Amino acid sequence: ASTGGPPALAEVLSKLPRDLPVPMLVAQHITVGFTQGMVRWLSQVCELQVGVARDGERLEPGRVYFPLDGHDLLVDSVGLARLQRSHGGPCPNGDVLLNSLAMAYGRRSGGGVLTGMGEDGARGLLAIRQAGAVTLAQDEASSVVYGMPRAAVELKATDGGTPLALVADLILQSCQRPSFRPSRGPEGGAR
């Protein structure tokens, strides 16, 4: 997400239950210095635990992870959070995050692009779709700026727009898909 993202994230996250069976990873374009404030605010409006990811941290269900200021968040091949310094462009970078999810989890991943300017996230969302997983883009009517979602739809990374009010329901339904079967990681933890 980018422009309009914080209230959109608040609406989605506030509708998800504490026992959500998956972790949520977020790439919200934000100015350095504001991530901690957004994390605190979102912690007050939702039941999920919201925090800043630590490099090498095992991702847990029912938690929402943001990258450190000035960093991109991604997932490695064994499902651990990885942080890397952003190298220009949107920060944090949605394509970096979504591509890593497609590679780490394949058809058990899922991704979405919410309101914002530009095209960030569209290519990463396409990678998730090509892996056989669920993808969504916020619809034009509920977006503050329809740039990022439009780019995803035009790239055919998803089948059109989803109203913001329905995004949380789609996430919950996706967790019930037959292809969503958490596997065991190398240390026995669910991935």
Task: Catalogue the active-site residues.
Answer: 2, 29, 120
E strand intervals along 29-146: 49-52, 63-66, 71-75, 81-85, 110-113, 134-138
Strand ranges inside the chain, DSSP E: 24-25, 49-52, 63-66, 71-75, 81-85, 110-113, 134-138, 161-162
- 25: which strand partners? 65
User: Rounded to the nearest 5°, which phi and psi values hold at 52?
Assistant: -95, 130
Strand ranges for 76-158 from DSSP E: 81-85, 110-113, 134-138
The sign of the torsion formed by the CA atoms of 59, 95, 118, 146 equals negative
DSSP helix/strand/coil, 161: strand
